[in-house]
Amino acid sequence: MFLRLVDISKVPKMVLNHNIYIGNALECAHFLKNESIDCLVTSPPYWGPRDYNTPPQEWGGDPTCNHEFEPDTSGERCKICGCWKGELGREPTPNEYISHLCWIFEALTPKLKKTATMWINIGDMYSGGVNNNDSIKEKRGSVEGVERIKGDAPPKSLLLIPTRFAWRMVEKGWILRNVIPWVKPSCIPSSVDDRYTVNWEYIFFFVRNDVTTFWEHTKTKEMIYEKPPKIDEDPEGEGTNWEEVEKIVMDETGEMISIKRKVSLWKGRDYYFNMPYEPIAENTKKRYLSVGNLDKRKDGISTDNGLGMSSKNNIECVANMKKRIESGEQLMRHARAVWEFSPVTEGAGSHFAAFPPELPKRAITAGCPLDGTVLDPFGGTGTTMKEARNQERNCVIFELNEESVKKELVDKLRLKEQLPTGLINYKITNTLSHTVTEIQG
């Protein structure tokens, strides 16, 4: 269970701006203003398995070249400049796919605010795996109806594409804060009987910034960009800039005593993160309560209940937790990095790779401020946009597949407005034919 500190029902309603760009994410990126995005949530096409029937795109090479394309394994290659023409995810090698992905994220980087968060769900693949996607078979005229996907590893080995991608992003300066394993309690059964069935996927949580850029009020969640005054320079600031709290500490003789301490109500932040909380485990509570008398433990006495007591700080922390549990307080802990929820999608029509709504919902509520803007450069059926709307954030999505996805996407977004009419502005820009359509929500 996740609890949010900010209750959006109490936040004044505003007009949300939702823009949809139909086109290649690499080109759509140029339509965005610099430093305009607070949170990027996406899932690109994975390498190998799927054909989204998107028009082939040209990747790399020399844009001034009069290309002479020759077919290669899954697209075409210009024999003069090396430009590859094909669908993202269908590149001949995993490394070429990762390069193309990184070009897209490189083009998007200046569009993100320094304080932005980025959440990327990406899948892995086995070398020599079988691709039995019907549309690919048909397109490629595969006789047996089965196509082997070649990787750059021995057959049957995992290619570790997500890990390679994440590392390339880190090399480019992105800060990888969490690898979030998304565990699926109900995954598709597998007939493969010489390894475990994979029931999880990678979600990478990246940020750009590692210096304090703003200060967040620990209670009201207000964000300010000027350093708040220090406690000793701000005697009047109680309730606004600092508060007095009671703490149990260990004195010089090893006795546990209660003291009053001033603590700042502002916390320096490098990027926006609305920490989700969950109740602490019953077992943990029992372990705290089972710790006996804490006095005289300053030399560090380990306990047999798994609570390390190696430092003065640690002993003080246990004493404070114990006191709060004894007083009947419902203690919360920081949410854990493993996400577990069903992969079941909502209103995805014929699209086979839509997000379950819970995925963008968690990323948006943790990683985007209330008046912020979310971007999904591989928007698909618009699950991210719908969740952005549900959470009252602005949103931009890009999607290349105009024909098969746009209708579902627009239907899904216009479907059963939960917000009063007129609160959402939709704009669809077709970057392929450069037309603009306005739709009022």
Ligand X SMILES: C[S@@+](CC[C@H](N)C(=O)[O-])C[C@H]1O[C@@H](n2cnc3c(N)ncnc32)[C@H](O)[C@@H]1O
CA angle (84 as vertex; 354, 37 as ends), nearest 5: 45
24 vs 115, beta carbon nearer ligand X: 24
> End-to-end alpha-carbon separation of the chain, Å?
32
Least distance to ligand X, CB of residue 394, Å: 18
Instruction: Give the residue, chosen from 18, 29, 32, 43, that forms a contact with ligand X under the rule CB under 6 A.
Output: 43
383 vs 391, beta carbon nearer ligand X: 383
- SS3 letters for 48-117? CCCCCCCCCEEECCCCCCCCCEEECCCCEEECCCCCEEECCCCCCCHHHHHHHHHHHHHHHHHHEEEEEE
Cα(128)–Cα(168) distance, integer angstroms: 24
25 vs 116, beta carbon nearer ligand X: 25
Going by C-alpha positions, the residue among 421, 409, 415 that lies closest to residue 383 is: 409
CA 377 from centroid of its chain's CA atoms: 13
Least distance to ligand X, CB of residue 43, Å: 4
Looking only at residues 279 through 308 of this chain, which bind ligand X when binding is defined by CB under 6 A?
A: none
The yes or no reply on residue 52 touching ligand X (CB under 6 A) is yes
Which stretches of 328-395 are DSSP H helices?
358-367, 383-390
Least distance to ligand X, CB of residue 282, Å: 36
Asked if 50 contacts 428 with a C-beta cutoff of 8 angstroms, the reply is no
Stretch that binds ligand X, among 108-116, 257-265, 326-334, 375-383 (CB under 6 A): 375-383
Is residue 215 classed as helix, strand or coil in its secondary structure?
A: strand
Question: What are the backbone dihedrals phi and psi of residue 203, each rounded to the nearest 5 degrees, phi first?
Answer: -125, 125
322 vs 412, beta carbon nearer ligand X: 412
Instruction: Give the residue, chosen from 322, 351, 389, 393, that forms a contact with ligand X under the rule CB under 6 A.
Output: 351
User: Helices 94-108 and 161-171 meet at what angle, rounded to 10?
Assistant: 40
Instruction: Give the residue, chosen from 373, 391, 401, 431, that forms a contact with ligand X under the rule CB under 6 A.
Output: 401
Cα(251)–Cα(236) distance, integer angstroms: 29
Least distance to ligand X, CB of residue 42, Å: 7
Those residues whose C-beta lies under 8 Å from the C-beta of residue 188, and which sit 6 or more positions away, are none
Dihedral (Cα; 407, 411, 413, 418), 10-degree rounding: 180
339 vs 355, beta carbon nearer ligand X: 355
Question: What are the backbone dihedrals phi and psi of residue 395, each rounded to the nearest 5 degrees, phi first?
Answer: -155, 145
Stretch that binds ligand X, among 49-57, 124-132, 138-146, 325-333 (CB under 6 A): 49-57
Least distance to ligand X, CB of residue 380, Å: 3
Residue closest to ligand X, measured at CB: 380
Least distance to ligand X, CB of residue 323, Å: 46
The yes or no reply on residue 381 touching ligand X (CB under 6 A) is yes
Instruction: Give the residue, chosen from 396, 405, 413, 424, that forms a contact with ligand X under the rule CB under 6 A.
Output: 405
Write out the H or E segment, with its range, that includes residue 180: strand 175-183
The yes or no reply on residue 355 touching ligand X (CB under 6 A) is yes
Cα(230)–Cα(223) distance, integer angstroms: 17
The single-letter code of the amino acid at 439 is I
Stretch that binds ligand X, among 52-60, 214-222, 263-271, 289-297 (CB under 6 A): 52-60
307 vs 400, beta carbon nearer ligand X: 400
77 vs 386, beta carbon nearer ligand X: 386
Looking only at residues 7 through 26 of this chain, which bind ligand X when binding is defined by CB under 6 A?
A: 24-25
The yes or no reply on residue 45 touching ligand X (CB under 6 A) is yes
Asked if 20 contacts 379 with a C-beta cutoff of 8 angstroms, the reply is yes
45 vs 151, beta carbon nearer ligand X: 45
Least distance to ligand X, CB of residue 119, Å: 11
Looking only at residues 69 through 128 of this chain, which bind ligand X when binding is defined by CB under 6 A?
A: 88
Contacts with ligand X, residue ranges (CB under 6 A):
24-25, 43, 45, 52, 54, 57, 88, 351, 353-355, 378, 380-381, 383, 398-401, 405
